[in-house]
């Protein structure tokens, strides 16, 4: 999809089985909204074809596609009540007028807004407006539900509550759903499947656990979770196990799925999650962790349930590593300047070819 000569969505091809909850995860400006607008039919693809229920739909106008969409800014009709908003798609689709009232009431109940039907939109709270928007998008039993970051504007507590709501409603109705977000937590929590997008292109498509545990490229590793990157050069490979060297130090890691066939002396990017690095005051406390390095504490950030240490590791070229400590002793164990020992297992070090 191009705007002028700008390609907002590039080579993007995926399919989605019925009843699944797919999340498209990507930073702002990565083309998520454009992709949804293409699927909904508000934009025409410059090249390519979109199929819904096996039917090509490029020539079908939005109002003839059975797609419910919840917009980034909700787009509720301000001149109608909550119930009138929910009834709108039924009226437009010429449903039997005698059943509309019942259907609207049923869906308002579903989103836990029974009894709020007569309220005007501006008389509802942010979370309630959210629910009206969902009911309106679902009431006509669409083939596909599209969610364009509708939770982005809510505060954290409400957002987490609504994420679970989305999941509950989606499971209850079994409606095929594409959700778009830049919130990695949301993607992991609600989805059956995640597509990570950047610059209008798909970076990886995987189930949440795999997307987190087995990122296929540095972008995915960087975008989901807190990840440390180490530049290294490959020495030898044995199956997917790779031996590398960084500033003369030997590292062992696992080749990522997207980086098959590593050449000798190839430059690589290695990634390790902050929570997979153990931190200890002395080497003997690290036990049998396969890779162990020495570092100096640069900063210690108290985040409540965990402490984030920033450790400068001289052996690896002064790289700054983030390490989580889930505060087992109830106070900051280390302060800036302390010498600490870090350790991790080889299977947790993801190796990406450059």
Partner 1 sequence: MRTYRVAYPLTWRAMDVLEAFVAFVWPPSFRAAVPYLFLLPALILVGLLVLGLIQIADTSMRVLDRDTFLLSDAYSLDNYRRALTEPFFATIAGRSIIGSLIVTVITLVFAFPYAYLMVRTSSSALRKFLLVALFLPFFIGQVVRAYGWLIILGNQGIVNDILGHAGIPTLRLLYNYPAVLFGLVQYMLPFAVLMLAPALTAIPEELEAAAGSLGASWLKTFRHVVLPLARPGLVGAGLVVMTLSLTDFAIPAMLGGGSQDFIANAIYDQFFRTSDQGLGATLSLLLVAVGSLLVGVVFTAFGAGTLAMGGRRK
Q: Where on the chain is the footprint of ligand ADP (CB under 6 A)?
A: 3, 6, 8, 26, 28-34
At closest approach, how far in Å is the CB of 162 from partner 1? 19
- In the complex, what is the shortest distance from the CB of residue 27 to ligand ADP, in angstroms, rounded to a whole number? 7
> Binding partner of residue 107 among ligand ADP, partner 1, Mg ion, none, CB under 5 to 8 Å per kind?
none
Shortest Å, Cβ 43 to Mg ion: 13
Length of the chain in terms of residues written: 354
In whole angstroms, how close is the CB of 148 to ligand ADP at the nearest point?
Answer: 7
Write the CA distances from 37 to 15, 29, 44, 90, integer angstroms.
Answer: 17, 14, 9, 22
Nearest CB to ligand ADP, comparing residues 66 and 201: 201
Question: Which of Mg ion, ligand ADP, partner 1, none does 34 bind, CB closer than 5 to 8 A by kind?
Answer: ligand ADP
- Which of 117, 124, 113 is CA-nearest to residue 101? 117
Closest to ligand ADP by CB, 45 vs 243, is 45
> Cβ 34 to Mg ion, closest distance in Å?
8
Structure tokens of 54? Answer: 């096996």
239 interface partner picked from ligand ADP, Mg ion, partner 1, none, CB below 5 to 8 A per type: none
Binding mask 4-43 for partner 1 (x = CB under 8 A): ---------------------------------x--xxx-
Q: What share of the chain is helix, strand, coil (3-state, %, to 5)?
A: 30, 30, 40
**Which residues between 284 and 343 bind Mg ion (CB under 5 A)?**
none
Q: Which residue has the tokens 């807004």?
A: 113
Q: Which residues contact 309 (CB under 8 A, 6 or more apart)?
A: 279, 297, 299, 300, 301, 322, 323, 324, 325, 334, 340
**CA 123 to CA 128: how far, in whole Å?**
9
Q: Identify the bridge partners of residue 148 per DSSP, sorted by sequence position.
A: 180
Q: Which is nearer to partner 1, 135 or 323 (CB)?
A: 135
The residue (of 84 and 105) whose beta carbon lies closer to partner 1 is 84
CB of 191 to partner 1, least distance (A): 22
Task: Report the Cα–Cα distance between both ends of the chain, in Å, rounded.
Answer: 28
Interface map 21-60 toward Mg ion (x if CB under 5 A): ------------x---------------------------
Report the C-alpha gap between 204 and 63 in whole angstroms: 31
Tell me the C-alpha to C-alpha distance, in Å, between residue 117 and each of 75, 83, 106, 174.
17, 4, 11, 25
Distances, alpha carbon 256 to alpha carbons 211, 235, 268, 274, 277, in Å: 12, 16, 11, 18, 19
Q: Which residue in 93, 267, 294, 347 binds partner 1 (CB under 8 A)?
A: 93
According to the binding rule CB under 8 A, does residue 73 interact with partner 1?
A: yes
Q: With CA atoms as reference, report the closest residue to 65 among 50, 77, 46, 83.
A: 50
Report the interhelical angle of 156-173 vs 97-110 (nearest 10°): 130
| Comparison of 28 and 264: residue with beta carbon closer to partner 1 | 28
CB of 289 to partner 1, least distance (A): 52
CB 127 to Mg ion: min, Å? 20
3-state SS assignment for residue 271:
strand
Contact partner at residue 30 from Mg ion, ligand ADP, partner 1, none, CB < 5 to 8 Å by partner kind? ligand ADP
For Mg ion, the binding residues (CB under 5 A) are 33
For partner 1, the binding residues (CB under 8 A) are 37, 40-42, 61-63, 65, 67-69, 71-73, 75-79, 88-89, 92-93, 122, 136-137, 140
């Amino acid at each position: 999809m191009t705007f002028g000569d700008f390609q907002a969505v590039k080579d993007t091809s995926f399919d989605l089985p019925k009843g699944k909850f797919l999340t498209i995860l990507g930073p702002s400006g990565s083309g998520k909204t454009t992709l949804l607008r293409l699927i909904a039919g508000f934009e025409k693809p410059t090249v390519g074809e979109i199929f819904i229920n096996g039917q090509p739909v490029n020539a079908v106008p939005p109002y003839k596609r059975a797609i419910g969409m919840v917009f980034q800014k909700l787009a509720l009709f301000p001149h109608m009540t909550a119930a009138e908003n929910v009834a709108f798609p039924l009226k437009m689709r010429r449903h039997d007028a005698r059943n509309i009232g019942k259907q609207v009431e049923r869906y308002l109940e579903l989103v836990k807004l029974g009894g709020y039907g007569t309220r005007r939109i501006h008389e509802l709270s942010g979370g309630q407006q959210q629910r009206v928007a969902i009911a309106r998008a679902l009431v006509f039993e669409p083939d596909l539900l599209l969610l364009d970051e509708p939770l982005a504007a809510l505060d954290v507590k409400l957002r987490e509550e609504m994420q679970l709501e989305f999941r509950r409603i989606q499971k209850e109705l079994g409606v095929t759903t594409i959700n778009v977000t830049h919130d990695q937590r949301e993607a992991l929590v609600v989805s059956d499947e995640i597509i990570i997008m950047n610059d209008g292109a798909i970076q990886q498509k995987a189930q949440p656990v795999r997307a987190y545990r087995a990122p296929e490229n540095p972008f995915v590793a960087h975008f989901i979770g807190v990840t440390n990157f180490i530049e290294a050069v490959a020495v030898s490979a044995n199956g997917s196990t790779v031996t590398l060297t960084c500033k003369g130090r030997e590292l062992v890691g696992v080749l990522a799925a997207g980086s098959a066939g590593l050449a000798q002396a190839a430059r690589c990017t290695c990634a390790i999650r902050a929570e997979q690095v153990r931190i200890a005051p002395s080497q003997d406390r690290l036990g049998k962790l396969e890779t162990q390095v020495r570092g100096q504490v640069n900063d210690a950030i108290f985040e409540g349930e965990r402490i984030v240490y920033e450790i400068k590791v001289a052996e690896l070229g002064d790289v700054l590593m983030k390490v989580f400590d889930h505060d087992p002793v109830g106070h900051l164990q280390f302060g800036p300047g302390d010498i600490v020992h870090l350790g991790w297992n080889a299977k947790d070090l993801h190796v990406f070819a450059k």
